[in-house]
Amino acid sequence: MITPMSAVFASVIAVLMVFLAYRVSTFRLKYRQGLGHNEDPDFEAAVRAHGNLVEYAPLALILLVVGELNGVNIKTVYWVGLVFVVSRLLHAWGMTQGRGGPHKARLVGTLLSWLSILVMAVLVVWNVIRVNL
């Protein structure tokens, strides 16, 4: 396997995504609402927790794969990937517990998501520069 570390993180994120999609589906069935959401803050929080993961995960996973393929240290890929997974778990939990409002886990999850994406982006560019100079 060429990118075993990224493959594991993509799989974990996929399981989280299916879980969050299931939560949205249960609200859709409960309220018989195929699109959007109603005034239930738990429903809206479930939709946004899932949507937010869908928005952030592709870029983070692409960066992990590109980094791994281009020779970024595998331990570094592991730690950045682990931080990203933990950040997404914190964000989803904070969204649920805070019912879409402010919550410390949501804030920490957001900041760690941004940090892991930025760190991996810098590592990929740094590795490209280092190898090609």
Angle (deg, nearest 10), helices 74-97 and 4-31? 10
Residue 78 pLDDT exceeds 90: yes
pTM for the whole structure: 0.94
| CATH, domain range 4-132 | 1.20.120.550
Q: How confident is the model at residue 37 (pLDDT cuts 50, 70, 90)?
A: confident
Can you say how many angstroms the Cα of residue 15 is from the centroid of all Cα atoms in its chain?
Answer: 11
Query: Rounded to an integer, what distance in angstroms lies between the CA atom of residue 44 and that of residue 131?
Result: 46
In the chain, what are the domain boundaries?
A: 4-132
Rg of the chain over all Cα atoms, to the nearest angstrom: 17
What was the pLDDT predicted at 32?
84
